[in-house]
């Protein structure tokens, strides 16, 4: 990286903490240029790695910390705390008769043929799950007034047991939150230091198990997140920064630390969501409306379908699965989130033989500590990165631009010992097996995902990023029949770029169940007025001018008696006077688009009402502060033998210096293109072009 010249105005950081690496992007508001950084994560305290990496970049670029205007941060920490069960000690208060809501779940078996299935253990043990006399019906009417004096003994128990946070989830509180609010206020009077989450604020939606699970999870991580974000803010102050820290949410928007601390459960997919936003951004730059973002990092690969430049979204996600890829085996959370599939196929994913002697990849990962064997940090299990190194795709002298040296000999030895010898293969054959299995795992998952969405993935372009993404993108795209792959410059840290191009936004939700032809239109009007007022308060506090706030409404609707809902856009403005025909027409249109038909003889009902508040999506032109090319003359650094599966042998291919490739440059595969944060493998059946934004475009030729 080169030192910035001239008078410095302000800079902004995007920081993404992953399971293996922490990625950095810093934007100079004067020169309009981006610079990149990457370092190993510090799992025991992620803020250490963040602050050290920021300080390194500031020193490298000769920038004072006082120039930092804001930092946008995404992290996998919340998900990791849930998975590792390292959150707070939590108590739960529910309506009398519903003590075991968490364990009853949805009363479904996620694998009906497995007699020994295990479900995720509730985050609250039964002795800390307490009930209180009260009851509200589904329309919000009070059937049993609350007995608030019961809370004194409950509070004494929680204090005695060292409970740090309490979740309150009462029946139908989404329609009438009064009882939850009274319990919270009483508990806070008894213990002002107690963290209290109430379901009517965290997840005011129908379906008691999901709402309770979400509220409990929010309480479980809130003390940890509060401490972490306070430490991070303090760390930046000690660096000399007065800049504001913003947090990336699972839904793809950015919000303030205060809001993120109040609903930390919305940070569960914080880091991965930024990758999807980056994929959407690069699709727009290239005028590609439909793209599949392929983010392969150190621990996992994430795939998201982006239609009409908008990432797919969902209102329900699952974490901490007992079986990572079996839906229903984890904790269900009602959280607005970008929808993506996750595969245990990162660079650090461990290769092993199962009980039948079949080669498997992941889901276990070597992570950052100890990392792959080739890192030389104590790892003893072969990984995808080790296999890529043995096959020649990675340069052992130029990993992270030479900041880390990789040991190809150790990588080959461990692959042969653990994979090759049991299968009577040499190290190269075993490494090729690892490469093929991990590529097919990712392609198979993408095929199923696309089929579930009803799309033909062959009509999509791929945006490949993450440290390992560009290495594997060509082969995965070839397996899927995708014609074009976009590899951005600095692909290894693209999730951090996603944070800097993500809008400030927040999602609001409120359940109100009614047939469309009998809606209380005044109630609905007042409900949306309240959500919109709250939305404007949150976004203006994040620095968004009120004139720039975009409000988008939708409703989860279905036919009466149906078991699932679809998301239907609904109009702005007042609902007074009724709009039942308009709502029904919007539902029928959406239903027909999805299922190619709609019904006229079944009434329609609405279940949940949603509001997304956002600023306009930033579309800055990406100009990178490019390091000086290492090649003195020309663009080729040299040649390197790589294992070509098409010929079952090693072949010498040119190695291009990414920083020497100017817009308009073209070349044909096979070839390697090296940059500090990642390596692009261009296979034999593709033609490559560098565009005006310095993206490397691979056009794959299918014979």
pLDDT on residue 3 = 39
Instruction: Identify the three-state secondary structure at position 543.
Output: coil
DSSP H or E stretch at residue 499: helix 494-500
The per-residue pLDDT for 5 is: 41
Cα separation of 368 and 347, whole Å?
A: 11
The mean pLDDT value for 45-53 works out to 89
- The answer for residues whose C-beta is within 8 angstroms of residue 10's C-beta and 6 or more apart is 29, 30, 67, 68, 69
Say if CB 374 and CB 382 are below 8 A apart.
no
Q: What is the pLDDT of residue 305?
A: 94
Burial class of residue 95 (count of CB atoms within 10 Å of its CB; 0-12, 13-18, 19+):
buried
pLDDT at 59: 87
Kindly state the helix (H) or strand (E) to which residue 165 belongs, with its residue range. Answer: strand 165-169
SS3 114: coil
* Direct distance between the N- and C-terminal alpha carbons of the chain, in angstroms, rounded to an integer: 41
| pLDDT tens-place string over residues 539-557 | 999 889 999 999 999 999 9
Show Cβ contacts of residue 421 under 8 Å, excluding neighbours closer than 6 positions.
none
What pTM was computed for the model? 0.87
For residue 654, how many other CB atoms are within 10 A of its CB? 18
Query: Which tokens hold the place of 233?
Result: 């803010």
At residue 401, does pLDDT exceed 50?
Answer: yes
Average pLDDT over residues 623-638: 76
Which token pair is 51? 């602050």
* Residue-wise pLDDT tens digits, 419-476: 999 999 999 999 999 999 999 999 998 998 898 888 899 999 999 998 889 999 999 9
Here the tokens at position 658 are 């990414």
| Mean local confidence (pLDDT), 63-68 | 90
The pair of three-digit structure tokens given for residue 90, joined into one six-digit string: 């939590």
Residue whose structure tokens are 């370092």: 39
CA atoms of 83 and 322, how far apart (whole Å): 9
The domains of the chain, with CATH numbers, are 11-82+227-267 (3.30.420.40), 84-222 (3.40.50), 270-345+437-500 (3.30.420), 349-434 (no CATH), 506-614 (3.30.1490), 623-678 (no CATH)
| Eight-state DSSP code of residue 383 | B
Burial class (CB in 10 A: 0-12, 13-18, 19+), 190: middle
Please state, in angstroms and rounded to a whole number, the distance separating the CA atoms of residues 34 and 28. Answer: 7
- Using CA atoms, how far residue 548 sits from 99, 313, 614, 671, in Å, is 45, 23, 8, 46
Per-chain mean pLDDT for the chain:
89
Distance CA 632, CA 149 (A): 80
- H or E stretch including 583? helix 580-595
Please name which of 578, 475, 423, 399 lies closest in space to residue 570, comparing C-alpha atoms: 578
Contact indicator for 638, 610 with CB cutoff of 8 Å: no
Of 572, 565, 579, 558, the closest CA to residue 612 belongs to: 572
* Count of positions (residues) in the chain: 703
The closest of 187, 177, 259 to 218, measured between CA atoms, is: 259
């Amino acid at each position: 990286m080169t030192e910035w010249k001239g008078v410095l105005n302000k800079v902004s950081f995007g920081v993404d903490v992953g399971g293996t690496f922490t990625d950095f992007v810093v934007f100079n508001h004067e020169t309009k240029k981006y610079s990149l950084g990457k370092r190993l994560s510090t799992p025991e305290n992620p803020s250490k790695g963040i602050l050290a990496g920021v300080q390194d970049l500031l020193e490298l670029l000769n920038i004072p910390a006082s120039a930092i205007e804001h930092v946008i941060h995404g992290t996998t920490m919340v998900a990791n705390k849930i998975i590792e069960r390292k959150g707070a000690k939590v108590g739960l208060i529910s309506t009398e008769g519903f003590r075991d809501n968490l364990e009853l779940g949805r009363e479904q078996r996620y694998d009906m043929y497995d007699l020994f299935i295990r479900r995720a253990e509730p985050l609250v043990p039964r002795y800390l799950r307490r009930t209180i006399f009260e009851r509200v019906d589904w329309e919000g009417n009070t059937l049993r007034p609350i007995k608030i004096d019961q809370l004194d003994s409950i509070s004494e128990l929680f204090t005695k047991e060292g409970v740090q946070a309490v979740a309150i989830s009462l029946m139908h509180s989404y329609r009438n939150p009064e009882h939850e609010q009274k319990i919270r206020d009483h508990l806070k009077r008894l213990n002002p230091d107690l963290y209290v989450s109430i379901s009517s604020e965290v997840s005011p939606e129908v379906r008691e198990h999901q709402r309770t699970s979400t509220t409990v999870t929010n309480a479980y991580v809130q003390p940890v997140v509060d401490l972490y974000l306070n430490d991070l803010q303090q760390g930046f102050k000690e660096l000399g920064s007065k800049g504001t820290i913003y947090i990336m949410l699972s839904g793809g928007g950015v919000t303030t630390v205060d809001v993120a601390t109040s609903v930390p459960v919305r940070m569960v997919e914080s880091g991965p969501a930024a990758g999807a936003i980056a994929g959407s951004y690069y699709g727009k730059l290239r005028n590609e409306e439909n793209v599949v973002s392929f983010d392969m990092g150190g621990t996992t690969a994430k795939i998201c379908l982006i239609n009409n430049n908008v990432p797919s979204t969902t209102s329900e996600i699952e974490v901490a699965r007992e079986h990572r890829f079996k839906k229903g085996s984890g904790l269900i959370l009602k959280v607005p989130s970008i929808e993506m599939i996750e595969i245990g196929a990162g660079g650090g994913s461990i290769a092993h033989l199962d009980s039948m002697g079949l080669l498997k990849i992941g889901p276990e990962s070597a992570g950052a500590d100890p990392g792959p064997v080739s890192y030389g940090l104590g790892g003893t299990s072969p990984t995808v990165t080790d296999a890529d190194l043995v096959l020649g795709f990675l340069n052992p002298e130029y990993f992270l631009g030479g900041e880390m040296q990789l040991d190809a000999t150790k990588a080959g030895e461990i692959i042969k010992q653990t994979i090759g010898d049991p299968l009577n293969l040499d190290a190269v054959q075993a490494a090729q097996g690892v490469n093929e299995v991990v590529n097919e795992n990712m392609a198979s998952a993408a095929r199923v995902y696309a089929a579930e969405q009803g799309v033909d993935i062959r009509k999509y372009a791929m945006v490949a990023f993450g440290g390992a993404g560009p290495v594997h993108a060509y082969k995965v795209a070839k397996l899927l029949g995708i014609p074009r792959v976009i590899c951005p410059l600095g692909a290894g840290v693209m999730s951090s770029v996603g944070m800097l191009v993500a809008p400030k936004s927040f999602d609001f939700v409120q359940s109100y169940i009614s047939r469309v032809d009998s809606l209380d239109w005044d109630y609905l009007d007042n409900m949306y007025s309240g959500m919109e007022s709250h939305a404007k308060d949150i976004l203006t506090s994040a620095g968004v001018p009120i004139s720039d706030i975009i409000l988008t409404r939708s409703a989860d609707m279905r036919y009466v008696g149906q078991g699932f809902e679809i998301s239907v856009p609904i109009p702005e403005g007042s609902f007074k006077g009724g709009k039942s025909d308009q709502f029904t027409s919007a539902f029928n249109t959406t239903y027909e688009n999805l299922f190619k038909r709609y019904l006229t003889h079944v009434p329609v009902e609405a279940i949940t009402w949603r509001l997304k508040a956002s600023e306009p999506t930033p579309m800055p032109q990406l100009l990178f502060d490019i390091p000086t090319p290492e090649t003195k003359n020309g663009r080729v650094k040299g040649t390197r033998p790589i294992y070509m599966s098409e010929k079952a042998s090693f072949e010498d291919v040119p190695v291009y210096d990414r920083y020497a490739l100017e817009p308009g440059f073209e070349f044909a595969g096979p070839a390697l293109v090296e940059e500090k944060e990642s390596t692009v493998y261009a296979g034999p059946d593709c033609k490559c072009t560098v565009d005006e934004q310095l993206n490397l475009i691979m056009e794959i030729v299918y014979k």
